[in-house]
Structure 1
């Protein structure tokens, strides 16, 4: 059968029978509920078990997307958005080789969590199609979770970190049901990028979730969780804007659309260096007992963790960098408590960089790279550190945030990847990254030396090499 007219097949899980589609030897089962729709009485509540169904459930299309607005302005031209209406938003999607169903083969499993700053994104994006992983012998699963105000509000009378709790429920579903899809529940690796990387790190902080996985890959994921008072600043500002108290009952009386409109008004005119607070994980004894930037250093399970050389260039395009003057640099440096000696170290490690480029590098190193390296230096378990350094010619993005996704998924010809990397992205780089991810998922060995006193990093570029930690003097100055 061709992809235009795929064949269908059925499997049974604990909640009923699913009808999926086969494309080129790969089975896809999409939009499978792992929790009940989080609306009505379940809004701002912990994820509840999904209902069973009679007969066959159509699993050939993605489920509804979590309430969100698309990216705007320049980001909207680079990052795709998908809106699928409906309330059954807590769903999983599975790609698996057609010839393993019912064979008891127990393939390794990759569970993917998408990014989007905890308020955008969906597994339904074409960039996250799991075909290439299933083709190479990995059962691929993507998990949706609540976003923005629905998933990360800090409200009186409501549990904290609901989006993270959704992810934990999705991981439990994978462990419980994946054998029916040909996966081995004892060989699960969790993987995520950006906010999805933060979700992965957060799951590792929970003993219940950590017990279900063999390893983890964190791609450009923020690692800090903060006190509820700080995480709740965005919620309390929204409450003031809506003229309601920051309580579960009051927020539940406001429609998701009205919350999105209030958030859009709140963040209008914000920049990555100033403006409205963003959504963040809140420290919580039940859902997130320790901040990942601290807790990762105590774990023994194998982890791959890394960042991109020019993360900031996704958020600060050339026209925005050109507007950053001496005063903005001074104010940002003061707010981040970055001493003058650190700036000097960055100038030495980044010869020829402009003042704005140095600021962008320092800010994103503080947010992403420094916490990753600190964790790698203290972990008792094997840690494989990478840096994605290939520079895209599109809009001077360089090795910007999210640039590596198309290479990891080996889907460089999709519209998402072409928008970011252009038509001439090196296939050899995609071969290497995808194969390294597959190797780690299969064996928990990434294929390059673990991070130790030598501080070896795999630097992905047109020519991929294992090198000493890049820009080490600047990073060490920042981490002092």
Structure 2
């Protein structure tokens, strides 16, 4: 099924017409006279050429998951007529606005240089959205400029999300003697494995080098990558990783995950002995029921990877970094004001006073059990120039969003396979005008998509930062080492120095930036949200 009316439809005729005139040496193509026709493992696909980049959108890497709901993914049926890969495929069913959605969501997109004289490094980007929302069709992650400027082959993808991808139904089903739900808690991860197998088997036809596959993921995408690093099924399918404000220290335990599934069933009006009806209920009802209150975290139900002893045999970064991926280079990134993205658009979080601030520093925001008065006193002593509004963002970032990145960097250092760490200080602008290095603000810098809606880019100097970040990503994808060009010597993170690349103008190396904040919050046990 090809969904029409996507963002490329209005330009489709022009782009394909221009593409037919572009030269292509024929490596891996299905038709020597058509540069936009490529043979994949499952059949030919026809994309289009946008100037000097060939684009293929909505390619199926797996079968429709609707008829196989709550089962591991299956490869697509092979086809013989060219699949018209000219519009994005559907996103996974979700509560957020994501364009066309469908359970037939196992789709991916490829951008590749029109001329390829040798195999090119491959970037596979995994979108964020906290396991519940998002897609690989965002204008911010369009791969054209990475392909055009840096000669990379870029892949983005969709996979199952929320309850359809991560509801752990295995214990409840087994208690009723019902089979077919054994892997339901990690289906989204298995979808990613299938997508990476597609890349291994077919990316050479697009000019990519299957021996140089770099995974990049922001937010939930980075957490999915951290989880893949602990999964034997994913071994050998990627060769370097970069996580951007997305970590997964621990997965959900099976009992808490089962409790969430029970709440979800209650919201659907189903007793455990009717669990089989989940396979046939309208998907809209399944998604709507995830609005039920989470019994552990509060808020709507959380569904993420589960320590099920089948797909996931250990926690991703607890009690240590996984030995399985110790040989894989890793970059761990964060932004200095992460939570400005979540809190900065809420008028209730603006113009705070020292008297009103404690009520905003709730456990739901800090995600740890600490007295807000103690947090405020610490920040007022450390940063006397900060306003209450600024303390809210810095404290919630340190307590909620940054902790897991530090833990993962520490564990890789202890393992003897240290990661490189960056901190983005370069600011972007929220729709309401507030500025800071907030969560997601590094995405358009990495993809060099500053002109895309929602980039938050400020001024012409933002292009200089995008040049730096997309450049080091290209070098990293090619060699495993991001150093070079106009970066300082980016050394790996050690426990002695905590070396960190601070991305600002100019970029600089610092030892233990925000070290006082890191040490203060390290006194308080960290538990990954959702576990």
Give the TM-score of the pair, scaled to structure 2. 0.80
Decide which moves more: 404-413 or 156-165.
Answer: 156-165
Over the aligned positions, Cα root-mean-square deviation in angstroms equals 2.6
**What is the DSSP-based 3-state SS (H/G/I as helix, E as strand, rest coil) of the residue aligned with 1:315?**
helix
Is 1:400 the counterpart of 2:442 in the alignment? Answer: no
Aligned to 2:316: 292
Give the unaligned 5+ runs of structure 2. Answer: 1-12, 21-35, 174-180, 484-489, 524-531
Aligned to 2:107: 91
1:355 offset after TM fit, Å?
5.0
In the aligned structure 2, how far is the partner of 1:108 from the partner of 1:199?
21
Aligned to 1:320: 348
Is 1:279 the counterpart of 2:303 in the alignment? Answer: yes
Match of 1:217 among 242, 256, 261: 242
The CA deviation string for residues 19-68 of structure 1, in whole angstroms up to 9 with x for no partner, is 1111111111111111111002x011100111101211111111111111
Aligned to 1:76: none
**Greater share of residues in helix:** 1
CA contact (8 A) 2:340 2:438 kept: yes
CA contact (8 A) 2:212 2:238 kept: yes
1:93 offset after TM fit, Å?
1.1
CA contact (8 A) 1:2 1:24 kept: no
- Size of the aligned set, in residue pairs, is 460
Match of 2:98 among 82, 85, 90: 82
CA contact (8 A) 2:263 2:292 kept: no
Decide which moves more: 314-323 or 194-203.
Answer: 314-323
In the aligned structure 1, how far is the partner of 2:519 from the partner of 2:301?
28
**What is the DSSP-based 3-state SS (H/G/I as helix, E as strand, rest coil) of the residue aligned with 1:290?**
coil
In the aligned structure 2, how far is the partner of 1:12 from the partner of 1:301?
30
**What is the DSSP-based 3-state SS (H/G/I as helix, E as strand, rest coil) of the residue aligned with 2:264?**
helix
Aligned to 2:513: 470
In the aligned structure 2, how far is the partner of 1:216 from the partner of 1:124?
21
1:87 offset after TM fit, Å?
4.1
Aligned to 1:7: 19
The CA deviation string for residues 157-212 of structure 1, in whole angstroms up to 9 with x for no partner, is 42121111111111111111111111111111111000111111111111231322
Match of 1:353 among 382, 386, 411: 386
Is 1:205 the counterpart of 2:230 in the alignment? Answer: yes
Aligned to 1:231: 257
Alignment of 1:294-313 (within 5 A): 294=318, 295-296=320-321, 298=323, 299-313=326-340
Is 1:245 the counterpart of 2:285 in the alignment? Answer: no
The CA deviation string for residues 245-289 of structure 1, in whole angstroms up to 9 with x for no partner, is 35751322321111222234658xx9xx95334222211222222
For the pair shown, the structure with the greater C-alpha radius of gyration is 2
In the aligned structure 2, how far is the partner of 1:321 from the partner of 1:38?
41
Change (3 A) 1:473 1:349: same
Give the unaligned 5+ runs of structure 1. Answer: 71-80
Alignment of 1:23-422 (within 5 A): 23-40=50-67, 42-70=68-96, 81-100=97-116, 105-135=118-148, 136-156=150-170, 157=173, 158=181, 159=183, 160-223=185-248, 224-245=250-271, 248-264=275-291, 266=293, 275-294=299-318, 295-296=320-321, 298=323, 299-317=326-344, 318-322=346-350, 325-329=357-361, 336-338=368-370, 344-354=377-387, 357-379=390-412, 380-394=416-430, 395=432, 396-417=434-455, 420-422=456-458
Change (3 A) 1:363 1:250: farther
1:437 offset after TM fit, Å?
1.0
In the aligned structure 2, how far is the partner of 1:55 from the partner of 1:333?
52
1:109 offset after TM fit, Å?
0.8
CA contact (8 A) 1:6 1:23 kept: yes
1:392 offset after TM fit, Å?
2.3
